Amino acid sequence: MRKLAAALLSCAYIFAALAVAALMWRGGAGWAAGLSAFVGALALAFSLHTLVGRIFDTASLKSEIATLRDAHRILADHIEATQDALEKLGSTIASESVERTEAIVSEVRMLEDLVARMGESLSARLASATHVIDRRGAHPPPDPQRAALLETVREALQENRVDLYLQPVVNLPQRRTLFYESFSRLRDATGRVMMPAEYLSVAEPEGLVQAIDNLLLFRCVQIVRRLASSDRQVGIFCNISPASLSDDSFFPRFLEFMSQNKDLSQALIFELGQKAFRDRGAKESRNMGKLADLGFRFSMDKVADLDLDYADLARADVKFVKIGASVLLDELEEQDGRTVFASMNDILAADYAPLMRRYGVEIIAEKVETERQVVEVLELDVGFGQGHLFGEPRAIREAVMAETAPPEEFNRAPLRTRAAYG
């Protein structure tokens, strides 16, 4: 468009110069004067055009410069605002990080404090166990193997050789991991892992199982906190002993700690065996209710009797019942064309899980070992499974164990304090 305008203006200048030359020639000035007038008029026209063009270009350039200055000023303002926002964001992140770190440190310290309050009674138990061993050593020991095993358990507790294992609990039939069950394993001085069946027979009579359970509880809380910080939506079943529920020095502090961490309520599920649940007294029931008031749920395992009190489970906020796959399937029998459980033939076997579900309780088929068992428990409308078929218990990595272990002060503390951490 600009080239067309330039061409038209050039033609106009030429015609104007010709007009001037023609006037000069008609006026009698001759051809030479006309030609000079033409050249002069043409040069003057182009000079004026160049001058006017420069004036307009200068004005346009000044306008563009002014626009650029305005844009630069706006950009500088935006950059300054962005820098302020980044500085505020950095300060907020730093502040939140400090607050988060302080909160975690506070949690660990509170846990240290509450488990330390169990020191006196547990220290007495360890001392009593040691006394029994020493006393047996003074006379021909009636059971040297038992005494040696008890000493190994005592040393494992003293040296904090208690490891945390997790086994997946999956939904059926999708087999997606929704929960983990926690287990404790002791190691002897050589590093050999001791299975519960090996040490419980000597640890239970001496009251040392409570120590193991409470150390496991300590680590479960920290593992749940770690999973929550990484937005992993999984829960952990953690054993809590009736002794812990009834301990007047331990439980109040534990309840206080859990009340400050109600956000863990959907991720931490406290588990008791069927016998412990049925034998619970008024104090244990009351303290379970206090945890339930905070939103925490319960699970019952080690089920040997399928004839459960559904209303009692609902009142106690038991949301899961773990039943061995073999316990469920071995009970099945045909009666009058109906598939029922041998110990309770008043309802159909296929109605057992739906009935429990009406009371807010889900059945978890545990110790599932074969695909055939999966098919059979699915026919019973069981919604969850656990067992080696879905994953064996695996030890938490050493780095994580170090993070969830009691603090260094625990390892340097005397026996009576260390024992309190269990």
pLDDT tens for each residue of 361-370? 999 999 999 9
Angle (nearest 5°) at CA 389 between 383 and 395: 105
Cα distances (angstroms) measured from residue 143 to each of 133, 156, 200, 204: 10, 20, 16, 17
| Same-domain check for residues 105 and 218 | no
Maximal C-alpha separation, the chain: 157
| Same-domain check for residues 108 and 190 | no
pLDDT at 24: 61
Contacting residues for 189 by C-beta, under 8 A, at least 6 apart: 152, 155, 159
Q: Are 121 and 249 in contact (CB under 8 A)?
A: yes
* Torsion over CA: 22, 26, 27, 32 (sign): positive
Is residue 99 one of the residues assigned to a domain?
Answer: yes
How far apart are the C-alpha atoms of 396 and 210, rounded to whole Å?
21
pLDDT at 399: 42
Q: Are 75 and 50 in contact (CB under 8 A)?
A: no
Q: Are 146 and 374 in contact (CB under 8 A)?
A: no
Is residue 358 one of the residues assigned to a domain?
Answer: yes
Per the model's pLDDT, the better-predicted residue between 161 and 95 turns out to be: 161
| Same-domain check for residues 105 and 179 | no
| pLDDT of 284 above 60 | yes
Total-model pTM:
0.64
| Same-domain check for residues 190 and 98 | no
How far apart are the C-alpha atoms of 254 and 112, rounded to whole Å?
10
Token pair recorded at residue 371: 């695909």
pLDDT digits (tens, 9 = 90+) for 296-331: 999 999 999 999 999 999 999 999 999 999 999 999
| Same-domain check for residues 294 and 374 | yes
How far apart are the C-alpha atoms of 105 and 224, rounded to whole Å?
15
pLDDT digits (tens, 9 = 90+) for 371-384: 999 999 999 999 99
Altogether, the residues listed in the chain come to a count of: 422
| Same-domain check for residues 314 and 190 | yes
pLDDT at 213: 76
Using DSSP, state whether 256 is helix, strand or coil. helix
| Same-domain check for residues 314 and 381 | yes
| Same-domain check for residues 63 and 196 | no
Output the average pLDDT for the chain.
76
Domain total of the chain: 2
pLDDT > 70 fraction of the chain, expressed in percent and rounded = 67
Token pair recorded at residue 241: 């002993």
Per the model's pLDDT, the better-predicted residue between 58 and 257 turns out to be: 257
| Same-domain check for residues 198 and 340 | yes
The partner residues of 391 in beta bridges, in order of sequence, read none
What 8-state DSSP symbol labels residue 349?
G
Find the domain containing 236 and state its range: 165-407
Among the candidates 113, 137, 155, a domain finishes at 113
CATH number assigned to the domain comprising residue 315? 3.20.20.450
Q: What type of residue is 47?
A: S
The partner residues of 415 in beta bridges, in order of sequence, read none
| Same-domain check for residues 225 and 345 | yes
| pLDDT of 349 above 80 | yes
How far apart are the C-alpha atoms of 199 and 154, rounded to whole Å?
10
